[in-house]
A and B are shown apart, each in its own frame.
Chain A
């Protein structure tokens, strides 16, 4: 009979938090987003992997993923870009002047579709939350950021662990004014 020495190695390994950069890479996130753009925005709509710098009035939409890895998939772009995206989503049903609810709805759905497909790549079982829209939550250390350009306008997708600022955001409802 072999004596079992508990070195703590297995326990430490299994207890180690899952880091997003070990679970998914930038190319996969970009590919998921591109598929969503092609299907929802238009066949000829491309996301180019180039950083462009976000404007001051940037807005974010996100969905939370709760499971072996817990965090959020956050989509951030300028307000004008968000309006243009929502107009594309609504197509012929877009009113002459979009109201804030339409833009929040459109941005939320994009985050929902991208987030749902990111969740499918992550270890499960996990649960997807409802989309939320508001000021950009700050990413913590456990984050994967993908900088993209759509029609020359900046757009970022961040897959970020819950140890970051999302918890702070939830404690400060003023930052998240448009829950969907």
Chain B
């Protein structure tokens, strides 16, 4: 399985990848994207099985990326990993087609809770 991790912070991408491994998802290919536009392009070129994306990013936000993907017909499973987990944002995420929203800070247990049904 290939997982695309999109976050404008290299530090946070490393933390997300480390947490994936700690949660037991350590035998998957990881691809990184620096913002929403990069993620949108890499969904096309890398064909990931899952996208884990930050919300607030320069160039293109995570929600804009998701909306662009769905508008283009892509049904790639998509989840947010973001510092904001308000009910309003969760609703926006779900309406746009996100499977889940993991709020930062997260633990490996949070990842397991949201990803066990998604990652085989």
Contact = CB atoms under 8 A, between A and B. Distances in A.
A115 B83 CA distance: 8
Interface of A: 35-36, 38-40, 86, 89-93, 102, 105-106, 108-109, 112-113, 115-117, 119-120, 124-125, 128-131, 180
A90 B13 CA distance: 10
B24 interface: no
Interface in B48-82: 56-58, 82
A168 B10 CA distance: 30
A39 B106 contact: yes
Interface of B: 8-12, 14-15, 18, 56-58, 82-86, 88, 103-107
Contacts of B57: 130
Chain A at the B interface: SS class: helix
A35 B83 contact: no
Contact of A120 (B9, B12, B58, B84): B84
B11 A130 contact: no
A180 B14 contact: no
Contacts of A129: 56
A119 to B, nearest CB: 6
Nearest to B10: A105
Contacts of A106: 11
A147 to B, nearest CB: 21
Contacts of B82: 116
Given A40-B105, A128-B56, A180 B9 contact: yes
A90 B14 contact: yes
Contacts of B8: 130, 180
Closest 6 CB pairs of A and B: A116-B83, A39-B105, A116-B84, A36-B105, A105-B11, A113-B104
Nearest to A40: B105
B104 A116 contact: yes
Nearest to A131: B9
A130 B58 contact: yes
A159 to B, nearest CB: 15
B83 A117 contact: yes
B10 A128 contact: no
